[in-house]
Amino acid sequence: MRLLDRYILKQVFLTCSACVGFFVFLMATVNALKDMLAYVLAGQLAPESAAKLFLLLIPYVVMYALPMGMLLGVLLVLGRMAADSEIVAMRTSGISVKRITAPIFGLALLGVVAGALINFYYMPVARTVYHQEFSRMLRTNALRVIVPKTFIRDFPRMVIYATEKHGDYVRDIWIWQLDKLQRVIRFSHAETGRIELDEDKNELVFTPFQFFGEQYDEKDPESNKKVPLKLSGETTSVRFPLSRYFGPKSFNRKPDWMTLDELRAERQKISQTLPAGREREQKLMRLEMIIQNKGSMALAVFILVLIAVPLGIKVSRREASANLGVALIMALAYYFLSTVVVGWFDQYPEYRPDLLVWVPNVFFIGIGLWLNLRVERT
């Protein structure tokens, strides 16, 4: 029996690892493209920096990839064993389905432990570091904001254009300042200038040399009645705030990005500082829902394996695609009920949404046990 256990465990472990790796790569790639592609193409984020950020995305996507990978891996292994009549041979020799699948459920329990560690610690830490590093890397490469021969419109009420850029220095740079109606109220031009980053004030500082320009009437900049004010000088400085372009220098951590200890500390802080009332109840319930949801997502590894085992043994003999489709539909239904539907009640603490999080778990565990009993009896 030990030989059989090692054989099944090895097959399931290798296949599930490959499936989890596939889902991790797929989800991380989608998130990376959404967050970083525009910055990389614009030259504002170095490829090596993007690669480091990609690695920090992995703990975040594992939260979702681990249950799906285990589901698919178990389906593939048991489907292949059923198609090759290995399951039939084992049962003919007197081995029960419970004994055959014992190594699989043991691996699923280890997956629950791993999922809990990831959800409560590694994912929040990695998610926080990801946003901190993303902001820091963008600011480190803030000088890349100025792209030659490109109109930069990301700064509030301002348009910037430069013909050439060499390191910190630019040539033939134009700056237009706009009003609320996007009308030009001032423009300046300089043949050369320098761009520096003021990290303390979170601003980009442009110092033009030998500049000239015009100042228009702010009330009616398009009027021809007043002669524009001529501007010129040896040197000056123009500051561009980076808070809108890169976001604020510091960011508020979302409760989802807190570890279990931090969530408990935040819950205690709210209980001590906020007076009794609906606002405090809603905030406390929001934190409690996050804790319960993280635990629920960790248990999802075992629940989806519980459903995958009977489907892999019974249905896969005839229609592997139908088996896989049914399992994926059930997995999506589980995620929809446990995250989206329950999330609708987060503003209504009187309905105890922290307990409703576990209702889909109980429901799908019941389905999984019923399917396993049916397979055991046939």
Output the pLDDT for position 251.
Answer: 58
Cβ(40)–Cβ(54) below 8 Å:
no
pLDDT at 317 > cutoff 50: no
Distances from the Cα of 72 to the Cα of 7, 8, 161, 336, 372, angstroms: 18, 15, 52, 18, 17
Q: Is 71 exposed, middle or buried (0-12, 13-18, 19+ CB in 10 A)?
A: buried
Backbone angles phi, psi at 243, to 5 degrees: -60, -35
Residues 89 and 7 sit within 8 Å (Cβ to Cβ): no
* pLDDT tens column, 149-186: 788 777 777 788 888 877 777 888 888 888 877 888 88
**Tokens of residue 156, six digits:** 């509030």
d(CA 190, CA 140): 25
**Mean per-residue pLDDT, 3-11:** 86
Q: Inform me whether the pLDDT recorded for 114 exceeds 90.
A: yes
Q: Which of 88-97, 157-166, 204-213, 342-351 has the lowest mean pLDDT?
A: 342-351
> Residue 128 in contact with residue 253, Cβ under 8 Å?
yes
pLDDT for residue 96: 83
Residue 139 has what pLDDT?
Answer: 63
Please tell me which residue, 82 or 31, carries the higher pLDDT value: 31
User: Which helix (H) or strand (E) element contains residue 206?
Assistant: strand 203-215
Question: Bridge-partner residues for 215, per DSSP?
Answer: 186, 229
Q: Is the pLDDT of residue 37 over 80?
A: yes
- 168 three-class SS: coil
According to DSSP, residue 247 is labeled -
Q: How far apart are the first and last CA of the chain?
A: 22
Give me the pLDDT at residue 49, please. Answer: 82
Q: What angle do CA 155, 143, 233 make, to 5 degrees?
A: 75
pLDDT-based confidence at residue 250 (cuts at 50, 70, 90): low
Q: Please, which pLDDT band fits residue 105 given cuts at 50, 70 and 90?
A: very high
- In angstroms, the CA 376 to CA 100 distance is 11
Assess whether pLDDT exceeds 50 at residue 316.
Answer: no
